[in-house]
Structure 1
């Protein structure tokens, strides 16, 4: 049963979870003859260390985590953050007085990497698609010069695979976030009215999610228009909602560092037949996705199951470019549901199903729900959306 928003799961993780995550990475590292991997981005840093801080919002100071092939990760961090590691399982914390633009931790990081990479002189970093290095390009060049006899390997595929399968504790945090948003969507259904703006609707939902237990709601967007909307990434705006409009709200509430990501649609006073038909087609496509999402199936097969329904319903296209993705510590994670996608689904993967269709020129309809792959299929992490387009007023 879904957790009540009044009864959140425990925060944080047992040390054994970080040990297991690190063990899985080190096993892959040894297979690829990598001496060490270093991370610069918040999600990977937190995933292997347990260090959770809002200080990542500041671009001033860099943070580094080094994972050797044996033993615990090593933190190479600004002095201002050292005390925060008393709350983690990390015991080797090395620091410098940042900000120091002339050498903001680079020489200390190079020394640490050199210390743990004497065997193969091969170092891994996040260099692939859907990743980035959170450090200036010239700092990375300086690091490479300081480790001139080392080679650099992309480990983004390894990390994406490891992180894609969630633990029970991770799933419960995501489930809680999902149920907060689901209750807030129901709340909004009772409190929307003609004459309010997109921004007012989103603010009402934002406040309700915080009241229900969300730590934050950094992603809360909307789109609206007569009989449908033409964008799902730009709002909310101050556009006033009037009779015949359709409003979509897409949210990513966060609890203890884990996101939900799904949307709901509302019509005002009346709904055009083509809008109702599009809603029902996308609902049916989600049903097809729920039926196809099971261990052993590929992301491409799930995409095809959803697209076949939309195509039969007369879809003019899909402007979103994919129909779902991974979910967890980040609002969108690997993999994506795309045509001919070859990622095999595994139990423990948390994903979104996001079928969408252009049903008329400049008019879209999108649904999004959150699921976890189980041993025998998949499970919704929140109540299913309404089978009929709700009409407000």
Structure 2
């Protein structure tokens, strides 16, 4: 029962930090804690309170039937669908649990206006602002999560390769994005992990370009950044392909990115920091003459959300641990000319890095 294991992690956190309860509001955190599949959507309609003994989830009538069915399977969560608003519910629960003056953790992302309502309704509670407590627990994936992410990656990879078969000059970025989305969903993705990026020619120099009506031309590099969602978990991949033959300069740029990606992958292991991996990629690009041409962090964690902890960035001095799932995505961006990015998502193992993606790093040329 994965939910029980995760609840126990949170309850140990309460003990370690001398807290009586934690309030959880983010849907991604709630999904991770409950394991309730096909229940949570984009609406912020739920709040949970976890103590050292109790797990109570408040929702509304639109979700209560599905949640009670899932809760019955797990036998851990109490589901409350009273007509109380969030603040009223939490105040009621603190009173019922005899924690009116308790030390209660709240996430720092809580809106100020909502925090003021909490404070007014529960003046004796000792609210403690916490940062990323559950996100840090989520950063280490278990075997079930890895299975789902590998499944999502397999679907995304197959869909991408099918999309390339129909790629041709004159097709627009938008049409290619729609085709890739259709292929992922047809092959079993519940939804996209994020909006596809399809950026051709000079648009490739915009790392988060939105697919446009620009049509592919001979000699274009095309950056595809895409991911599928399966069982609530994401994949994340980027490949850069070429329409027709690539110039010597394009190949030089591509090979620099490829070397940086593969050098990082060879060095990721428990104990190295996100900052060290970012610096490694930057130094490899600089050796090829592309210093300061990446402009973004090397990578990020992936899981229920497409961007999670840990970060492979200059600011992350914390060591990676086995079970972290991260992206390795160096890039070079030359405004007005081209962009190249190669991204693999994989898990940090006891001895190194296992990529989930089997799509070649060789430059794929669409004739």
Normalising by structure 2, what TM-score? 0.92
- Give the equivalent residue in structure 1 for 2:102: 121
Once the two structures are superposed, the pairs formed by residues 196-345 of structure 1 within 5 Å of their partners are 196-226=171-201, 229-339=204-314, 341-345=316-320
Distance across 1 between alignment mates of 2:40 and 2:100: 35
RMSD of equivalent CA atoms: 2.1
User: Counterpart of 1:179 in 2: which secondary structure?
Assistant: helix
Distance across 1 between alignment mates of 2:39 and 2:169: 38
1:133-186 per-position Cα deviation (integer Å, ceiling 9, x unaligned)? 3xx643332122111122222333321221111110100100111111111222
Distance across 1 between alignment mates of 2:40 and 2:301: 25
1:168-218 per-position Cα deviation (integer Å, ceiling 9, x unaligned)? 010010011111111122222222100100011111111111122111115
- Give the equivalent residue in structure 2 for 1:92: 78
Normalising by structure 1, what TM-score? 0.86
User: Counterpart of 1:379 in 2: which secondary structure?
Assistant: strand
Unpaired stretches in structure 2, ≥5 consecutive residues: none
1:358-393 per-position Cα deviation (integer Å, ceiling 9, x unaligned)? 356664321110110111111111204332x22212
Once the two structures are superposed, the pairs formed by residues 122-137 of structure 1 within 5 Å of their partners are 122-127=103-108, 132-133=109-110, 137=112
Distance across 2 between alignment mates of 1:23 and 1:278: 48
- Give the equivalent residue in structure 2 for 1:111: 92
Q: Rate the CA distance shift 1:109–1:32 in 2: closer, same or farther, 3 A.
A: same
Number of aligned pairs?
363
User: Counterpart of 2:6 in 1: which secondary structure?
Assistant: helix
- For the 8 Å contact 2:326–2:345, the answer to whether it is kept is yes
1:78-136 per-position Cα deviation (integer Å, ceiling 9, x unaligned)? 13322122213344222233xxxxx6332112211344462862111221xxxx33xx6
Structure 1 residue runs of 4+, over 4 Å off?
359-362
Distance across 2 between alignment mates of 1:218 and 1:193: 25
The 10-residue stretch of structure 1 (105-114 or 262-271) with the greater mean CA deviation from structure 2: 105-114
1:68 aligns with 2:42: no
- For the 8 Å contact 1:221–1:234, the answer to whether it is kept is no
1:382 pairs with 321, 335, 357, which one?
Answer: 357
- For the 8 Å contact 1:223–1:231, the answer to whether it is kept is no
Q: Rate the CA distance shift 1:258–1:287 in 2: closer, same or farther, 3 A.
A: same
- Give the equivalent residue in structure 2 for 1:12: none
